[in-house]
Structure 1
Amino acid sequence: MPKIITPLTAAQVKNAKPKDRLYKLADGGGLALWVKPNGSKVWRFSFNGENGKPQTLTLGAYPLFSLVQAREWRDEQKRKLALGQNIKRVKVRTAYTLEKIACEWHEKWRKDMAEKYTVQVMRNFERYIFPVIGNRDIRQIKTIDVVECLRIMERRGIADSLRKTKNSLNLVFSYAVGSGLIEYNPVLQIGKQVFEKPKNRHMAALPPSELPLLIDFLEQRNGFANPTNRLKITPTTRLAIYWLLLTMTRVQETALARWDEIDEKSGQWIIPAERKKERREHIVPLSTAMKQILQQARELNVNGVYLFESYNYRSHINKEAPRMAMQRAGLETTAHGLRSLARTYLREELNIDNDVAEKLLAHSLGTKTQTAYNRSELLKERGEALEKWGNVILTMMGNSQQA
């Protein structure tokens, strides 16, 4: 009777300790995690080849490949075996492998792109493309081969990464065509209809750990220093993004913000009810950081009606401008996602009370009576929270006196 193998858990994989000799933890279906004496862990898939002899295929190291990813890869190999495909291919000349050509393209392409974006592109290649077809001769790769790789991403529900990886592969194969290596680009035939449209699309947001990266972009320093035209940001768009971040308001509220809504005497920005999604007036206490942004905005447009004027000073800034600027820089966030970033940082890093954080987002906390009560009671707390948040931003900017 065959031995029953209990599938591994994520905790078992993570906590597997090295021993004096190499050993494996079987997950079932031929997949196993091999743990080396030096502590490194590698996923391998065992199967019977065409001649019936046992063979092994290596995916890659843990944690670069998670347990879920390893299982998806194993299932993909089993499907290919069922179709009669030879998954244990003889390596082709390194000069013509997809991985070699992709790395060659990436080295040239990344010079004009944001470092964070280029790293993400290569990371997706290493996770989803190279383990499956990276050692294949690029001259023999067909559309179906690329689709099979992208299907793995589709099953994981990472539609945005799938789209970006497909676009990057399109550039790789176009580079190969231009270099005379291949006659046609197999990615060109892969339309949007090939993959399922995601049922729910959440607003993309940066994790708090990537807030310094956003500030580097706004300050045009480190990886964003001496930017190409693609990565440059206009002074008005830069200030608008800072305002979105500091005030935690919606992009349309920032884009339409007017100078007559700023009450300098009380130190408040009063957004009228007709401009709020909730149809309630919303008060934003002005922090030190916000006041510095206002000072710079006034210097940019002395006689304007709006805080952030369009390039021709005839209207307000386009509400898409912040999102487009950040995405050109490879920052995977929407303007709305800045609200989520700020709320997460306030709760997790600054320990701001949940009710205060919700009111900063203009979210209702209960009945009309409770809402009116909370509006007056939490104004002081909201001001203190925004001041702390503003100080975080100013510190990351490296200048607490001037934005």
Structure 2
Amino acid sequence: MSKRVLPLSDQQVRTAKPRHKIYTLSDGGGLYLEVSPAGSKIWRMKFRQQDGRTNRLTFGPYPEITLAAARDKRLDARRLMLEGVDPAEHREEKKRKALEKASNTFEKVAREWHSNKVPTWSERTATNTLRRLELDIFPEIGRRPIHEITHAELIATLRKIEGRGAHEIAHRQKAICSSIFSYGIQIGLLERNIAVDMKDVLKTMRGSHFAAIDNDELPAFLDALRRNEARMLKPTQIALRLMMLIFVRTSELIETPWSEIDLEKGEWIIPWQRMKRGKLTVNPDTTDHHVCLSRQALDLLRELYAITGGGTYVFPNQRDPGKPLSNNAILKSLERMGYKGRMTGHGFRALVMSAIKERLGYRHEVIDRQLAHAPRDKLSCAYDRAKYLAERKMMMQAWADYLDSL
């Protein structure tokens, strides 16, 4: 018959004095208080594992862990044992998971999310997304375990971006953070996406188009360009004039290699892989884009070939000819002309769409195809190739002549 152990009292635990050797005070059920010669008191529990071997749990020091708290921990351990779970192994697993959670910082999870997304993005989107995170988000909450980040921390991070006037970037970063938190939920690191709840914490932005002048302002713009050309590098002058003459997207213009242009035939064909819709990961448009060149546009390209024709790019970067011209060069030139906030590289496309319809009377479908907008259906696409190319060539020459007349 096993010896009956009387439970300890609070007074016994409180008044237990140190001795020359370590000794214990048992509370029953495997729980005991270990008193060291230095006077420290530690709660421990002895239990038998399923293989018959004896093991111990440490619950912590007294008085931080009271007698009542130690008994609660004993009860939790005994419940686990009844379920066939080793309480020591259970504790180690909890520690491991806690350490794993703590190591999954926002930055670590965000980079993992980014790596998974890269195959579905264009190179530019992947680079810009990570760069913005590194600039705006990681310095603020990147080192924090993702499951510990609070609403207040994320709001403060986003409002810091908003505070410097970057309202659009703040809204974009909020959406990116929401995607990262959603990914964290999917891989089991947290249970709630705090960014989803933040519908009104940032200032509401009105939808807007790229800044663009209207038809009536075109003569004054051309005059400003003439007056400022002496302050620009020749390739930049030609880039601005070509944007008006052929109105491709800014990236499609400045990233053009000379290999796409045949000056003898007067042809410029942009491979579909470089076009906006060609970069789609789902159902990309695999149609090469014919840039119809007027006599004036061809003359500018021939003039430019004498300057940059020995390199890869039509518009090489001044500092590193192995790279294309920066979009910022276009924006800075427009700024020096006095058109900051009033005109952008993309704005030429909006200007031309309305000007050609209103002043030259060409059909919307012809202009739309020259802008490389997607046809609505396969039949329209086939008709584009069959007929619109000839009309577009006529339209582009008429547009160049109209600009000359101004």
**How does the TM-score come out when normalised to structure 1?**
0.46
Highest RCO, 1 vs 2 (Cα 8 Å, sep ≥ 6) = 1
Higher CA-based Rg? 2
